[in-house]
Amino acid sequence: MASNQNISMAVIRRLPKYHRYLRELLDKDVKRISSKELSEIIGFTASQIRQDLNNFGGFGQQGYGYNVEDLYNEIGKILGLTKNYNTIIVGAGNLGQALANYASFGRFGFNLVGIFDINPKLIGLKINNVEVRDMDELKAFASETPVDIAYICTSRSGAQDVADALMECKIKAVWNFAPVDLKVDDDVIVENVHLIDNLLTLTYFVKEQ
Amino acid sequence: MASNQNISMAVIRRLPKYHRYLRELLDKDVKRISSKELSEIIGFTASQIRQDLNNFGGFGQQGYGYNVEDLYNEIGKILGLTKNYNTIIVGAGNLGQALANYASFGRFGFNLVGIFDINPKLIGLKINNVEVRDMDELKAFASETPVDIAYICTSRSGAQDVADALMECKIKAVWNFAPVDLKVDDDVIVENVHLIDNLLTLTYFVKEQ
DNA sequence: TAGATTGTTAATCGATTAACAATC
DNA sequence: TAGATTGTTAATCGATTAACAATC
């Protein structure tokens, strides 16, 4: 697996889906699968599956197909799931609290190490055994505890200030739930979950019915 | 605005972003904008903006550009924001509760009319003034109250059963937060928010740093 | 009118699909 | 070996960008 620079975003966004389906096959004790069989359950063409996988290496074997467990592990590696990630949540409102309690993340190696807010009413509260701290403490906290990923769960208006604060703390990855496109340095990675954008895509089609 | 069948998904997914930026311009009292100016703030090429908009009609004026308010309203219409939508939440766990409390949806015309769960501990609880009902009551409820959109906030294992129940109730639009690809009839629209898939896209890039 | 900017066609670019030689 | 299926090249399809005539 080379350190690939030129993999298209379309391919990268399919990888978690491969990972998810391979996990299911593994749970069903399926040992091998061909691109054609996988095609039928995952909904991509067999050709696309082979193309996608060959961006990262030749994981299959001619005449046989792919070993499910090996492929699952390889895709896990590609997605960076061989290490753990320290995460913090900024914004301890409804969504922040929901994410703090979302157990599934732990299974993938995401460890919640801190929660921050500016609301005095929330500071001190314990959510899923993690105490909510004052945003003012972020810099000191980050200098002691390495933070790999920050989830921004603030309002739209507060999000850019949070992003700026995170950059001061040298936090390089942001999972942004605020409905705004953050301005960040080139070395900071942002992944957006724009819920309202997503919901409006749904109404576009509902309206047409 | 014709009832367009052949608009590509890529275009449709950009519409909420246009809507969001036009709203901001409107709030700043900007009256007119050219595709070139919009291009600079939204990050699409001017050419793409003109192409996108012309899928739905000629909203601009040569030599002038686009009237911000008119364009905002037109895109709102295209996205189906001229009507209200009755919504229900199925699964009153952390995420379901967070969505129930998420005030922003109301502003766009989404009215939460019901919350359902199978957990006896949650049934009867009031969240944002809406009582959690037993899943068994869904069918009777849906026959009395028209439901436009259902948000599935259950675990992975429960989601397909919920989708089946929704189809029995003739609910035609699903916003799915469970990490699974639902099997639904052709006339049912599903929009997925696969949080873990999204987070793994982030780790793909974090890993590479 | 002259300048500006759209609407739209044509060119380019990138992603998906098809085909097939390589090989297990 | 013969059959199956990959890895990979070539063909197709679709989306984005460029160019420019139309027109406000």
Each of the 209 residues of chain A gets a pLDDT tens digit; together they read 334 568 999 999 999 999 999 999 999 999 999 999 999 999 999 999 999 999 999 999 999 999 999 999 999 999 999 999 999 999 999 999 999 999 788 899 999 999 999 999 999 999 999 999 999 999 999 999 999 999 999 999 999 999 999 999 999 999 999 999 999 999 999 999 999 999 999 999 998 66
Average the pLDDT over B9-20 and give the result. 98
Best mutation target, A202, A205, A208, A209, to test chain B (most B CBs within 10 A): A202
Å: A73 CA to D3 C1': 29
Query: Are residues A14 and A44 in contact, defined by beta-carbon separation less than 8 angstroms?
Result: yes
Best mutation target, B23, B75, B201, to test chain A (most A CBs within 10 A): B201
B142-175 pLDDT, tens per residue? 999 999 999 999 999 999 999 999 999 999 999 9
**Looking at the C1' of nucleotide D18, which residue has the nearest alpha carbon?**
B47
Check residue B3 and give its pLDDT: 42
A87-98 pLDDT, tens per residue? 999 999 999 999
Check residue B103 and give its pLDDT: 77
Check residue B104 and give its pLDDT: 80
Average the pLDDT over B15-37 and give the result. 98
CATH code of domain A9-78 = 1.10.10.10
Angle between helices A9-27 and A35-42 (to 10 degrees): 100
CATH level 3 topology of B85-198: Rossmann fold (3.40.50)
Would you list the domain boundaries of chain B? Answer: 9-78, 85-198
* Contacts for B18 with CB less than 8 Å, ≥ 6 apart: B42, B49, B52, B53, B71, B75
B101 touches strand C (CB under 7 A): no
B15 touches strand D (CB under 7 A): no
Sign of the alpha-carbon dihedral angle for B154, B160, B161, B166: positive
* Beta bridge pairs of residue B192: B176
Check residue A104 and give its pLDDT: 80
Among the partner-chain residues A97, A196, A205, the one whose CB lies closest to the CB of B94 is A97
Query: Chain C: nucleotides under 7 Å from a protein CB?
Result: 2-9, 14-19, 22-24
- CA separation for the pair B86, B78 (Å, rounded): 19
* Contacts for B9 with CB less than 8 Å, ≥ 6 apart: none
